[in-house]
Structure 1
Amino acid sequence: MKLEDLFSSIESTLLSRFKESGFINHNGDKGENREEILIEFLRNHLPKRYGVTKGEVITQKGERSHAIDIIIYDSVNCPVLYAGKTSILPIEGVYGIIEVKSTLFKNEALDALSKVESFKKLAPRELGITSSQDAVTLHRPSRPFGIVLGYQLSSNSITSLKNNWKEQAYEVHDVNYVANLICVLGEGLLHFEKYNLTKGEKDILLDTDEFVDLVTTAHKRHRNGEECDEILAKIIAEETKDRTFGRFIMYLLIMLTKIKLNVPDLTRYIDPELPMTIVKE
């Protein structure tokens, strides 16, 4: 069996389990079951350095996120500040989040996208410090990702969902806070692509840092009157049908491997007057 066929079979199983959960009447239980189906898969199949849970993230200033459906974090270096039915994690140790919806119609999609925006606004940009025998290094952490995943569409289509996302992205304006990927099982995926019209090249654009650098570099060159390539970024719809989940996992792994986090410094949470922790490599 080819790997893509294996993931197609897994996708069918996930959708069957989701449909079985439809017999649950209580909305809270329905939502919890919907998230647990995906959490269980990710815990079992992602590399063990990636922790998977649901809960909230907290910043050094005490700001708290909304209740997040799925958090993917650094299971090696990130302490879990509270471990109950839901977890609380320091945001420095979080790679990104996934907001999960049963049916991804316009209002649900916009709700999930706004939650991604609010989470990304909490992301730290403070430098971390690491030391080795040869040098002390300052490191700025990567920006986290935000994904929206739906088990099914309503009466809408991937194309209409793409238009909904385009509207929301223009309203957010700052690409720091735009979602990285939308996935609907059994239907397809939405993400940004970068088009270099000058060179005739195109590349997938999943990484937030790359997107931010693309925009800031273009603005800087325009202000300085410098000549630059004509580059566009636009949302692309992939109608991958029963190949969607395999593609989703591939994109998730691409995003995870590109992100470099700082080790959370709990002294900043407990007492900012204490010396900063220097991590030894």
Structure 2
Amino acid sequence: MDLNELFSSIETTMLARFKESGFINHSGDKGENREEFLMDFLKNHLPKRYGVTKGEIITKDGSRSHAVDIIIYDAVNCPVLYAGKTSILPIEGVYGIIEVKSSLSKAEFDDAAGKITSFKKLAPRDLGVIATREYATVHRASRPFGIVFGFQLSGNSLDSLKDNWMAHSHAVHDVNFFCNLVCVLGKGLLRYESVNLTKGEKNLLLDTDEFVNLILTAHKRLQNSEEQDEVLLRIVKEGAEDRTFGRFFTYLLIMLTRMKLNVPDLGRYIDPELPISVVRE
């Protein structure tokens, strides 16, 4: 059995558990069980430096996120401020979120995408300070990601879902706040791609920083009347079917390994006038 076959088997098992959960009548319990299918896998298979939980995310000015289905956070440096049935975490320690939908209709996609946009608007762009024995340096944390994950479609297709995502992106307008990936088990994925028509190259456009930097560079060159390559940004549909989950997990790992967060400075949550904490390495 190769890796593709392994992930195909995992996907089959996950979809079987999803169908079994349909026997539960209470919609809240049913939804929680389906979120836990994915959460359990991520807890057991992501590197241990990544924590996985559900709950709320808080900023140092007291703003709170919605109740997030799955939060992926820095398990080494991020304190969990509350650890009941749901957790509360400081936003500086959060890599990103996954919104899980049992049936991904247009309305459910719009709901999930809107929650991701609202979450991303909470993310600070503060500098962190890292000190070693020789020098001190400043670091700006990676922008967080947001993923929509569905167990099945509902009265739509990946093509119509692609149109929904394009419409949402146009409405949001700012690439800082776009979704990063859409996944539907047994069907496939949607993701952004950059196509350099001048060089004849195309590249995955998964993480938020890369997307933002691409747009900012193009705007800067336009303002300076500099010559630039012709680049097309587009949403790509991957009809991966029973190999969808393997690609989802791979793309998630790609995003996570490219990111670097600041260590949450809880002193400034308690008193904004306290000096910035310096992380020593």
The question of 1:214 aligning with 2:203 is answered no
Task: For residues 79-120 of structure 1, give each alpha carbon's deviation from its aligned partner in whole angstroms, at most 9, with x where no partner exists.
Answer: 000000000000000000000000011000010000000000
Write the distance in 1 (CA, Å) between the matches of 2:221 and 2:161.
33
1:92 alignment counterpart: 92
Gaps of 5+ in 1: none
Task: Trace 1:1-281 onto structure 2 (pairs within 5 A).
Answer: 1-281=1-281
TM-aligned CA deviation for residue 274 of structure 1: 2.0
* Matched AA of 1:36: E
TM-aligned CA deviation for residue 175 of structure 1: 0.2
TM-aligned CA deviation for residue 30 of structure 1: 1.1
Write the distance in 1 (CA, Å) between the matches of 2:138 and 2:155.
50
Write the distance in 2 (CA, Å) between the matches of 1:185 and 1:191.
15
Name the TM-score, length of structure 1 as normaliser: 0.99
Name the TM-score, length of structure 2 as normaliser: 0.99
Write the distance in 2 (CA, Å) between the matches of 1:69 and 1:257.
22
* Matched AA of 2:6: L
SS at match of 1:152: strand
* Matched AA of 1:154: S
TM-aligned CA deviation for residue 216 of structure 1: 0.9
* Matched AA of 2:260: K
* Matched AA of 1:95: Y
Write the distance in 1 (CA, Å) between the matches of 2:228 and 2:145.
28
Write the distance in 2 (CA, Å) between the matches of 1:155 and 1:110.
14
More moved, 30-39 vs 239-248: 30-39
Task: For residues 134-163 of structure 1, give each alpha carbon's deviation from its aligned partner in whole angstroms, at most 9, with x where no partner exists.
Answer: 111100000000000000011211101000
* Matched AA of 1:229: D
Write the distance in 1 (CA, Å) between the matches of 2:97 and 2:274.
30
SS at match of 1:73: strand
**RMSD of equivalent CA atoms:** 0.6
Write the distance in 2 (CA, Å) between the matches of 1:196 and 1:215.
13
Write the distance in 1 (CA, Å) between the matches of 2:48 and 2:220.
40
Task: For residues 38-63 of structure 1, give each alpha carbon's deviation from its aligned partner in whole angstroms, at most 9, with x where no partner exists.
Answer: 11110000000000000000001000
Runs in 1 of length 4+ with deviation above 3 angstroms? none
Task: For residues 221-246 of structure 1, give each alpha carbon's deviation from its aligned partner in whole angstroms, at most 9, with x where no partner exists.
Answer: 11111110001110000000000000
Gaps of 5+ in 2: none
SS at match of 1:9: helix
SS at match of 1:17: helix
How many aligned positions are there? 281
Report sequence identity in percent: 70
TM-aligned CA deviation for residue 275 of structure 1: 2.2
* Matched AA of 2:119: F
TM-aligned CA deviation for residue 273 of structure 1: 2.1
SS at match of 1:63: coil
Task: For residues 163-214 of structure 1, give each alpha carbon's deviation from its aligned partner in whole angstroms, at most 9, with x where no partner exists.
Answer: 0100000000000000000000000000000000000100010010010010
Write the distance in 2 (CA, Å) between the matches of 1:251 and 1:157.
21
* Matched AA of 1:169: S
Write the distance in 1 (CA, Å) between the matches of 2:88 and 2:258.
24
Write the distance in 1 (CA, Å) between the matches of 2:115 and 2:105.
16
